[in-house]
Structure 1
Protein backbone atom coordinates (compact mmCIF):
# COMPACT_ATOMS: atom_id res chain seq x y z
CA UNK A 1 0.00 0.00 0.00
CA UNK A 2 1.28 3.49 -0.88
CA UNK A 3 1.48 6.25 1.71
CA UNK A 4 0.98 10.01 1.62
CA UNK A 5 2.45 12.19 4.37
CA UNK A 6 0.61 15.49 4.83
CA UNK A 7 2.74 18.00 6.74
CA UNK A 8 0.86 20.92 8.26
CA UNK A 9 -2.38 18.93 8.10
CA UNK A 10 -5.49 20.82 9.14
CA UNK A 11 -9.23 20.14 9.24
CA UNK A 12 -9.99 21.54 5.81
CA UNK A 13 -7.61 21.00 2.89
CA UNK A 14 -5.22 18.67 4.70
CA UNK A 15 -8.03 16.36 5.71
CA UNK A 16 -9.60 16.56 2.25
CA UNK A 17 -6.32 15.58 0.58
CA UNK A 18 -6.04 12.70 3.03
CA UNK A 19 -9.57 11.54 2.19
CA UNK A 20 -8.94 11.81 -1.55
CA UNK A 21 -5.77 9.75 -1.46
CA UNK A 22 -7.26 7.27 1.02
CA UNK A 23 -10.09 6.70 -1.46
CA UNK A 24 -7.41 5.56 -3.91
CA UNK A 25 -5.96 3.08 -1.42
CA UNK A 26 -3.27 5.24 0.18
CA UNK A 27 -2.38 5.14 3.85
CA UNK A 28 -2.25 8.64 5.35
CA UNK A 29 0.33 10.06 7.75
CA UNK A 30 -0.86 13.33 9.28
CA UNK A 31 1.83 15.65 10.68
CA UNK A 32 1.13 18.90 12.54
CA UNK A 33 1.65 20.40 15.99
CA UNK A 34 -1.42 19.40 17.97
CA UNK A 35 -1.81 15.69 18.62
CA UNK A 36 -5.47 15.93 19.64
CA UNK A 37 -6.37 17.67 16.38
CA UNK A 38 -4.43 15.09 14.39
CA UNK A 39 -6.31 12.27 16.12
CA UNK A 40 -9.57 13.76 14.86
CA UNK A 41 -8.24 13.67 11.30
CA UNK A 42 -7.13 10.07 11.74
CA UNK A 43 -10.57 9.13 13.04
CA UNK A 44 -12.23 10.53 9.92
CA UNK A 45 -10.01 8.42 7.65
CA UNK A 46 -10.38 5.24 9.66
CA UNK A 47 -14.14 5.69 9.98
CA UNK A 48 -14.25 5.63 6.20
CA UNK A 49 -12.34 2.38 6.07
CA UNK A 50 -8.92 3.88 5.38
CA UNK A 51 -5.62 3.61 7.23
CA UNK A 52 -4.11 6.66 8.92
CA UNK A 53 -1.84 7.63 11.79
CA UNK A 54 -0.77 10.83 13.57
CA UNK A 55 2.80 12.01 14.00
CA UNK A 56 2.89 15.30 15.96
CA UNK A 57 5.65 17.77 15.13
CA UNK A 58 6.12 21.51 14.69
CA UNK A 59 7.57 22.29 11.24
CA UNK A 60 9.78 24.97 12.78
CA UNK A 61 11.41 22.30 14.98
CA UNK A 62 13.53 20.69 12.29
CA UNK A 63 14.77 17.69 14.29
CA UNK A 64 11.21 16.93 15.45
CA UNK A 65 9.88 17.22 11.89
CA UNK A 66 12.54 14.87 10.54
CA UNK A 67 11.83 12.43 13.37
CA UNK A 68 8.08 12.50 12.66
CA UNK A 69 8.68 11.65 9.02
CA UNK A 70 11.08 8.87 9.99
CA UNK A 71 8.43 7.49 12.34
CA UNK A 72 5.87 7.63 9.54
CA UNK A 73 8.21 5.76 7.23
CA UNK A 74 8.83 3.10 9.84
CA UNK A 75 5.11 2.79 10.52
CA UNK A 76 3.95 2.54 6.91
CA UNK A 77 7.08 1.26 5.17
CA UNK A 78 7.62 4.11 2.71
CA UNK A 79 6.40 7.63 2.02
CA UNK A 80 5.42 7.72 -1.62
CA UNK A 81 3.80 11.17 -1.67
CA UNK A 82 4.76 14.16 0.46
CA UNK A 83 2.40 17.12 0.70
CA UNK A 84 3.84 20.12 2.58
CA UNK A 85 1.38 22.88 3.48
CA UNK A 86 2.10 24.60 6.79
CA UNK A 87 0.10 27.67 7.75
CA UNK A 88 0.23 30.04 10.71
CA UNK A 89 -2.42 29.70 13.39
CA UNK A 90 -4.27 32.63 14.96
CA UNK A 91 -1.74 32.59 17.81
CA UNK A 92 1.12 32.69 15.32
CA UNK A 93 -0.42 35.69 13.60
CA UNK A 94 -0.44 37.55 16.90
CA UNK A 95 3.19 36.84 17.74
CA UNK A 96 4.50 37.24 14.17
CA UNK A 97 2.10 39.49 12.24
CA UNK A 98 2.17 39.97 8.50
CA UNK A 99 4.23 42.96 7.35
CA UNK A 100 3.70 45.31 4.42
CA UNK A 101 6.46 45.41 1.80
CA UNK A 102 7.83 48.82 2.75
CA UNK A 103 8.08 47.79 6.43
CA UNK A 104 9.80 44.41 6.06
CA UNK A 105 12.69 43.77 8.43
CA UNK A 106 15.07 40.87 8.77
CA UNK A 107 13.37 39.97 12.04
CA UNK A 108 9.93 39.81 10.38
CA UNK A 109 11.18 37.39 7.72
CA UNK A 110 13.10 34.91 9.90
CA UNK A 111 10.01 33.10 11.33
CA UNK A 112 8.55 32.81 7.83
CA UNK A 113 11.76 31.29 6.51
CA UNK A 114 11.68 28.80 9.38
CA UNK A 115 8.16 27.69 8.52
CA UNK A 116 8.26 27.62 4.74
CA UNK A 117 11.86 27.29 3.56
CA UNK A 118 13.73 25.51 6.36
CA UNK A 119 10.75 23.31 7.22
CA UNK A 120 10.14 22.55 3.57
CA UNK A 121 13.75 21.59 2.93
CA UNK A 122 13.78 19.43 6.05
CA UNK A 123 10.63 17.56 5.04
CA UNK A 124 11.68 17.05 1.44
CA UNK A 125 15.20 15.91 2.22
CA UNK A 126 13.84 13.36 4.68
CA UNK A 127 11.87 11.56 1.97
CA UNK A 128 13.72 12.44 -1.24
CA UNK A 129 16.65 9.99 -0.92
CA UNK A 130 14.27 7.04 -0.60
CA UNK A 131 12.22 8.25 -3.57
CA UNK A 132 15.32 8.60 -5.72
CA UNK A 133 16.52 5.17 -4.69
CA UNK A 134 13.16 3.64 -5.65
CA UNK A 135 12.90 5.75 -8.80
CA UNK A 136 9.42 6.97 -7.93
CA UNK A 137 7.68 9.51 -5.73
CA UNK A 138 5.69 12.72 -5.63
CA UNK A 139 6.39 15.90 -3.68
CA UNK A 140 3.79 18.68 -3.62
CA UNK A 141 4.04 21.85 -1.56
CA UNK A 142 1.32 24.45 -1.11
CA UNK A 143 1.60 28.16 -0.46
CA UNK A 144 -0.57 31.20 -0.94
CA UNK A 145 -0.48 32.62 -4.46
CA UNK A 146 1.58 35.57 -3.26
CA UNK A 147 4.57 33.25 -3.59
CA UNK A 148 4.78 34.22 -7.25
CA UNK A 149 1.69 34.35 -9.46
CA UNK A 150 0.08 37.23 -7.53
CA UNK A 151 1.43 40.44 -6.02
CA UNK A 152 0.05 41.12 -2.53
CA UNK A 153 2.29 43.69 -0.81
CA UNK A 154 0.39 43.55 2.49
CA UNK A 155 1.94 40.19 3.41
CA UNK A 156 5.42 40.71 2.00
CA UNK A 157 7.37 39.06 4.83
CA UNK A 158 5.55 35.77 4.33
CA UNK A 159 5.88 36.00 0.56
CA UNK A 160 9.63 36.35 0.71
CA UNK A 161 9.69 32.91 2.29
CA UNK A 162 6.96 31.28 0.20
CA UNK A 163 8.61 32.59 -2.97
CA UNK A 164 11.87 30.98 -1.88
CA UNK A 165 10.15 27.65 -1.33
CA UNK A 166 8.40 27.92 -4.69
CA UNK A 167 11.62 28.71 -6.54
CA UNK A 168 13.44 25.75 -5.00
CA UNK A 169 10.62 23.34 -5.80
CA UNK A 170 10.50 24.37 -9.44
CA UNK A 171 14.26 23.90 -9.69
CA UNK A 172 14.05 20.62 -7.79
CA UNK A 173 11.51 19.26 -10.24
CA UNK A 174 13.85 20.10 -13.11
CA UNK A 175 16.65 18.35 -11.24
CA UNK A 176 14.92 15.06 -10.40
CA UNK A 177 12.15 14.61 -12.98
CA UNK A 178 14.29 12.31 -15.12
CA UNK A 179 14.97 10.16 -12.04
CA UNK A 180 11.32 9.23 -11.46
CA UNK A 181 10.42 11.85 -8.84
CA UNK A 182 7.78 14.46 -9.59
CA UNK A 183 7.83 17.79 -7.70
CA UNK A 184 5.07 20.39 -7.91
CA UNK A 185 4.13 23.67 -6.29
CA UNK A 186 0.51 24.69 -5.72
CA UNK A 187 -0.08 28.43 -5.56
CA UNK A 188 -3.45 28.61 -3.87
CA UNK A 189 -5.74 31.62 -4.20
CA UNK A 190 -8.97 30.33 -2.75
CA UNK A 191 -10.94 31.06 0.42
CA UNK A 192 -11.18 27.42 1.48
CA UNK A 193 -14.59 26.31 2.68
CA UNK A 194 -16.17 29.77 2.43
CA UNK A 195 -19.07 28.75 0.19
CA UNK A 196 -17.71 29.01 -3.34
CA UNK A 197 -18.07 25.59 -5.03
CA UNK A 198 -14.56 25.50 -6.46
CA UNK A 199 -13.11 26.51 -3.08
CA UNK A 200 -14.56 23.56 -1.21
CA UNK A 201 -11.78 21.37 0.25
CA UNK A 202 -12.83 18.21 -1.56
CA UNK A 203 -12.83 19.99 -4.92
CA UNK A 204 -9.36 21.43 -4.36
CA UNK A 205 -8.09 18.09 -3.08
CA UNK A 206 -9.03 16.43 -6.34
CA UNK A 207 -6.62 18.78 -8.11
CA UNK A 208 -3.82 17.33 -5.96
CA UNK A 209 -4.77 13.81 -6.99
CA UNK A 210 -4.74 14.89 -10.64
CA UNK A 211 -1.28 16.42 -10.22
CA UNK A 212 -0.01 13.17 -8.75
CA UNK A 213 -1.58 11.13 -11.53
CA UNK A 214 -0.62 13.29 -14.49
CA UNK A 215 2.89 14.25 -13.29
CA UNK A 216 3.39 16.87 -15.99
CA UNK A 217 3.09 20.44 -14.72
CA UNK A 218 5.56 21.69 -12.09
CA UNK A 219 3.09 24.30 -10.84
CA UNK A 220 -0.65 24.69 -10.39
CA UNK A 221 -2.04 28.17 -9.91
CA UNK A 222 -5.41 27.38 -8.31
CA UNK A 223 -7.45 30.58 -8.38
CA UNK A 224 -11.01 30.89 -7.12
CA UNK A 225 -11.22 34.17 -5.27
CA UNK A 226 -14.01 36.76 -5.41
CA UNK A 227 -12.79 40.10 -6.75
CA UNK A 228 -13.74 41.93 -3.56
CA UNK A 229 -11.70 39.60 -1.32
CA UNK A 230 -9.37 41.35 1.11
CA UNK A 231 -5.92 39.85 0.56
CA UNK A 232 -4.27 41.24 3.68
CA UNK A 233 -4.45 37.93 5.53
CA UNK A 234 -4.22 35.77 2.44
CA UNK A 235 -1.25 33.65 3.43
CA UNK A 236 -3.08 32.85 6.67
CA UNK A 237 -6.35 31.53 5.32
CA UNK A 238 -5.49 30.41 1.81
CA UNK A 239 -3.74 27.34 3.13
CA UNK A 240 -4.88 25.20 6.06
CA UNK A 241 -4.02 26.56 9.48
CA UNK A 242 -4.56 24.16 12.37
Structure 2
Protein backbone atom coordinates (compact mmCIF):
# COMPACT_ATOMS: atom_id res chain seq x y z
CA UNK A 1 0.00 0.00 0.00
CA UNK A 2 1.24 3.48 -0.81
CA UNK A 3 0.61 6.65 1.12
CA UNK A 4 -1.25 9.90 0.52
CA UNK A 5 0.19 12.72 2.63
CA UNK A 6 -1.61 16.00 3.21
CA UNK A 7 0.44 18.98 4.34
CA UNK A 8 -1.87 21.48 5.98
CA UNK A 9 -4.57 19.17 7.29
CA UNK A 10 -7.88 20.80 8.17
CA UNK A 11 -11.52 19.86 8.76
CA UNK A 12 -12.81 21.05 5.38
CA UNK A 13 -11.04 20.33 2.11
CA UNK A 14 -8.23 18.47 3.85
CA UNK A 15 -10.48 15.99 5.59
CA UNK A 16 -12.62 15.46 2.47
CA UNK A 17 -9.57 14.78 0.29
CA UNK A 18 -7.97 12.52 2.87
CA UNK A 19 -11.21 10.54 3.01
CA UNK A 20 -11.30 10.28 -0.80
CA UNK A 21 -7.75 8.98 -1.11
CA UNK A 22 -8.15 6.74 1.91
CA UNK A 23 -11.30 5.20 0.47
CA UNK A 24 -9.30 4.43 -2.67
CA UNK A 25 -6.96 2.28 -0.59
CA UNK A 26 -4.07 4.59 0.24
CA UNK A 27 -2.70 5.00 3.72
CA UNK A 28 -3.35 8.56 4.91
CA UNK A 29 -0.83 10.80 6.66
CA UNK A 30 -1.88 14.21 7.94
CA UNK A 31 0.61 16.97 8.75
CA UNK A 32 -0.30 20.08 10.73
CA UNK A 33 1.12 22.01 13.66
CA UNK A 34 -1.25 20.82 16.38
CA UNK A 35 -1.09 17.21 17.61
CA UNK A 36 -4.51 17.60 19.23
CA UNK A 37 -6.02 18.86 15.98
CA UNK A 38 -4.51 15.91 14.11
CA UNK A 39 -5.90 13.45 16.64
CA UNK A 40 -9.45 14.69 16.02
CA UNK A 41 -9.04 14.38 12.25
CA UNK A 42 -7.47 10.92 12.31
CA UNK A 43 -10.12 9.66 14.72
CA UNK A 44 -12.82 10.75 12.27
CA UNK A 45 -11.08 9.01 9.36
CA UNK A 46 -10.56 5.82 11.35
CA UNK A 47 -14.28 5.69 12.09
CA UNK A 48 -14.70 5.45 8.32
CA UNK A 49 -12.30 2.50 8.19
CA UNK A 50 -9.38 4.53 6.81
CA UNK A 51 -5.86 3.92 8.05
CA UNK A 52 -4.73 7.40 9.09
CA UNK A 53 -2.03 8.89 11.28
CA UNK A 54 -1.05 12.41 12.23
CA UNK A 55 2.48 13.80 12.15
CA UNK A 56 2.87 17.21 13.83
CA UNK A 57 5.12 19.69 12.02
CA UNK A 58 5.13 23.37 11.08
CA UNK A 59 5.65 24.16 7.38
CA UNK A 60 7.82 27.09 8.49
CA UNK A 61 10.27 24.66 10.15
CA UNK A 62 12.04 22.79 7.30
CA UNK A 63 13.90 20.28 9.49
CA UNK A 64 10.74 19.31 11.35
CA UNK A 65 8.80 19.05 8.10
CA UNK A 66 11.44 16.82 6.52
CA UNK A 67 11.52 14.66 9.63
CA UNK A 68 7.74 14.28 9.62
CA UNK A 69 7.74 13.17 5.98
CA UNK A 70 10.48 10.65 6.67
CA UNK A 71 8.43 9.32 9.58
CA UNK A 72 5.40 9.03 7.28
CA UNK A 73 7.24 6.76 4.84
CA UNK A 74 8.62 4.59 7.63
CA UNK A 75 5.27 4.22 9.37
CA UNK A 76 2.82 3.92 6.47
CA UNK A 77 4.84 3.10 3.36
CA UNK A 78 6.23 5.13 0.50
CA UNK A 79 4.52 8.41 -0.35
CA UNK A 80 2.86 8.21 -3.75
CA UNK A 81 0.72 11.35 -3.45
CA UNK A 82 1.69 14.63 -1.80
CA UNK A 83 -0.90 17.39 -1.42
CA UNK A 84 0.38 20.78 -0.29
CA UNK A 85 -2.53 23.00 0.77
CA UNK A 86 -1.99 24.74 4.12
CA UNK A 87 -4.13 27.83 4.68
CA UNK A 88 -2.09 31.07 4.70
CA UNK A 89 -2.15 33.27 7.77
CA UNK A 90 -4.20 36.45 7.70
CA UNK A 91 -1.10 38.60 8.25
CA UNK A 92 0.26 37.48 4.86
CA UNK A 93 -2.42 39.60 3.19
CA UNK A 94 -1.26 43.17 3.69
CA UNK A 95 -1.81 45.81 0.97
CA UNK A 96 1.05 45.99 -1.50
CA UNK A 97 1.97 49.59 -0.61
CA UNK A 98 2.27 48.62 3.07
CA UNK A 99 4.38 45.52 2.38
CA UNK A 100 8.07 45.48 3.29
CA UNK A 101 10.74 42.87 2.63
CA UNK A 102 10.26 41.58 6.18
CA UNK A 103 6.57 41.03 5.46
CA UNK A 104 7.50 38.60 2.66
CA UNK A 105 9.73 36.31 4.73
CA UNK A 106 6.99 34.09 6.16
CA UNK A 107 4.74 34.02 3.06
CA UNK A 108 7.65 32.88 0.89
CA UNK A 109 8.76 30.34 3.48
CA UNK A 110 5.16 29.09 3.70
CA UNK A 111 4.34 28.87 -0.01
CA UNK A 112 7.74 28.27 -1.61
CA UNK A 113 10.28 26.89 0.83
CA UNK A 114 7.64 24.61 2.35
CA UNK A 115 6.76 22.96 -0.98
CA UNK A 116 10.45 22.66 -1.93
CA UNK A 117 11.15 20.98 1.40
CA UNK A 118 8.27 18.54 0.93
CA UNK A 119 9.14 17.64 -2.66
CA UNK A 120 12.79 17.03 -1.80
CA UNK A 121 11.70 14.73 1.02
CA UNK A 122 9.24 12.60 -0.98
CA UNK A 123 10.81 12.57 -4.43
CA UNK A 124 13.33 9.76 -3.78
CA UNK A 125 10.49 7.47 -2.68
CA UNK A 126 8.39 8.33 -5.72
CA UNK A 127 11.31 7.60 -7.98
CA UNK A 128 11.78 4.24 -6.29
CA UNK A 129 8.08 3.49 -6.85
CA UNK A 130 8.29 4.60 -10.47
CA UNK A 131 5.30 6.92 -10.06
CA UNK A 132 3.98 9.80 -7.99
CA UNK A 133 1.66 12.78 -7.83
CA UNK A 134 2.35 16.27 -6.47
CA UNK A 135 -0.80 18.33 -5.88
CA UNK A 136 -0.73 22.05 -5.13
CA UNK A 137 -3.88 23.94 -4.09
CA UNK A 138 -3.92 27.74 -4.32
CA UNK A 139 -6.34 30.62 -4.25
CA UNK A 140 -7.09 32.88 -7.16
CA UNK A 141 -4.30 35.34 -6.30
CA UNK A 142 -1.85 32.72 -7.59
CA UNK A 143 -2.85 33.66 -11.12
CA UNK A 144 -4.44 37.08 -10.60
CA UNK A 145 -2.47 39.14 -8.04
CA UNK A 146 -4.57 41.11 -5.58
CA UNK A 147 -3.14 44.44 -4.35
CA UNK A 148 -4.75 44.00 -0.93
CA UNK A 149 -3.18 40.55 -0.48
CA UNK A 150 0.39 41.17 -1.50
CA UNK A 151 2.11 38.46 0.53
CA UNK A 152 0.00 35.59 -0.75
CA UNK A 153 -0.09 36.99 -4.29
CA UNK A 154 3.70 37.07 -4.47
CA UNK A 155 4.26 33.79 -2.66
CA UNK A 156 1.54 31.89 -4.55
CA UNK A 157 3.04 33.09 -7.83
CA UNK A 158 6.41 31.70 -6.75
CA UNK A 159 4.80 28.40 -5.73
CA UNK A 160 3.02 28.24 -9.09
CA UNK A 161 6.29 28.74 -10.97
CA UNK A 162 7.99 26.02 -8.93
CA UNK A 163 5.10 23.58 -9.41
CA UNK A 164 5.00 24.25 -13.16
CA UNK A 165 8.71 23.53 -13.45
CA UNK A 166 8.19 20.28 -11.55
CA UNK A 167 5.41 19.35 -13.97
CA UNK A 168 7.77 19.75 -16.91
CA UNK A 169 10.88 18.27 -15.31
CA UNK A 170 9.27 15.14 -13.82
CA UNK A 171 6.80 14.09 -16.53
CA UNK A 172 9.27 11.67 -18.09
CA UNK A 173 9.61 9.91 -14.72
CA UNK A 174 5.85 9.28 -14.38
CA UNK A 175 5.62 11.83 -11.57
CA UNK A 176 2.76 14.23 -12.21
CA UNK A 177 2.65 17.75 -10.73
CA UNK A 178 -0.66 19.62 -10.93
CA UNK A 179 -2.17 22.77 -9.49
CA UNK A 180 -5.81 23.37 -8.55
CA UNK A 181 -6.87 27.02 -8.34
CA UNK A 182 -9.86 27.69 -6.08
CA UNK A 183 -10.95 31.28 -6.79
CA UNK A 184 -13.54 31.59 -4.02
CA UNK A 185 -14.24 30.36 -0.53
CA UNK A 186 -14.31 26.64 0.20
CA UNK A 187 -17.51 25.79 2.07
CA UNK A 188 -20.12 23.03 1.99
CA UNK A 189 -22.66 25.11 0.05
CA UNK A 190 -20.14 26.44 -2.50
CA UNK A 191 -21.08 24.13 -5.37
CA UNK A 192 -17.95 23.48 -7.42
CA UNK A 193 -15.83 24.71 -4.51
CA UNK A 194 -17.33 22.53 -1.81
CA UNK A 195 -14.88 20.24 0.02
CA UNK A 196 -16.34 17.03 -1.42
CA UNK A 197 -16.39 18.28 -5.01
CA UNK A 198 -12.84 19.59 -4.74
CA UNK A 199 -11.72 16.28 -3.24
CA UNK A 200 -13.06 14.49 -6.31
CA UNK A 201 -11.26 16.99 -8.55
CA UNK A 202 -7.97 16.35 -6.76
CA UNK A 203 -8.43 12.60 -6.97
CA UNK A 204 -9.10 12.97 -10.71
CA UNK A 205 -5.92 15.03 -11.12
CA UNK A 206 -4.05 12.10 -9.61
CA UNK A 207 -5.69 9.41 -11.73
CA UNK A 208 -6.16 11.23 -15.05
CA UNK A 209 -2.80 13.07 -15.02
CA UNK A 210 -3.97 15.62 -17.58
CA UNK A 211 -2.21 18.98 -17.70
CA UNK A 212 -0.82 21.26 -15.03
CA UNK A 213 -3.24 24.04 -14.03
CA UNK A 214 -6.91 23.43 -13.30
CA UNK A 215 -9.66 25.66 -11.95
CA UNK A 216 -12.37 24.70 -9.50
CA UNK A 217 -14.64 27.21 -11.22
CA UNK A 218 -14.20 30.06 -13.70
CA UNK A 219 -12.25 33.05 -12.44
CA UNK A 220 -14.39 36.19 -12.11
CA UNK A 221 -13.44 39.13 -14.32
Normalising by structure 2, what TM-score?
A: 0.95
RMSD (Å) for aligned C-alpha atoms: 1.6
Contact 2:6 2:14 in 1 (8 A): yes
- Write the distance in 2 (CA, Å) between the matches of 1:26 and 1:130: 15
Q: Which residue of 2 aligns with 1:179?
A: 173
Unaligned runs of 5+ in 2: none
Aligned to 2:117: 122
Which structure 1 segments of 5+ residues have no match? 228-242
The 8 Å contact of residues 9 and 15 in structure 1, kept in 2 or not, is answered as yes
Shift of 1:26: 1.2
Structure 1 residue aligned with 2:132: 137
Q: Which residue of 1 aligns with 2:69?
A: 69
SS at match of 2:216: strand
Match of 2:141 in 1: 146
| Equivalent pair of 2:188/2:195 in contact (CA under 8 Å) | no
- Runs of 4+ in structure 1 off by over 3 angstroms are 224-227
Q: Provide the rounded CA distance (Å) in 2 between the counterparts of 1:136 and 1:195.
A: 35
1:33 aligned to 2:33?
yes
Aligned to 1:58, what secondary structure does the other structure show?
A: coil
TM (norm. structure 1) is 0.87
Task: Kindly indicate whether the alpha-carbon contact (under 8 Å) linking 1:5 and 1:31 is maintained by their aligned counterparts in 2.
Answer: yes
Deviation at 1:195, TM superposition (A): 2.0
Q: How many residues align?
A: 221
Q: Distance in 2 between matches of 1:173 and 1:45?
A: 30
Q: Which of 192, 197, 205 is 1:211 aligned to?
A: 205
- Per the alignment, do residues 22 and 153 of structure 1 end up closer, same or farther by CA in structure 2, a change over 3 Å counting? same
- The answer to whether the 8 Å contact 1:13/1:205 transfers is yes
Aligned partner of 1:230 in structure 2 is none
Contact 1:117–1:164 (8 Å) recurs in 2 = yes
Query: Does structure 2 retain, via aligned residues, the 8 Å contact 1:190–1:224?
Result: no
Which residue does 2:59 correspond to in 1? 59
1:170 aligns with 2:148: no
> What CA deviation, in whole Å up to 9, does each residue of 1:212-237 have, x standing for no partner?
0100111112236889xxxxxxxxxx
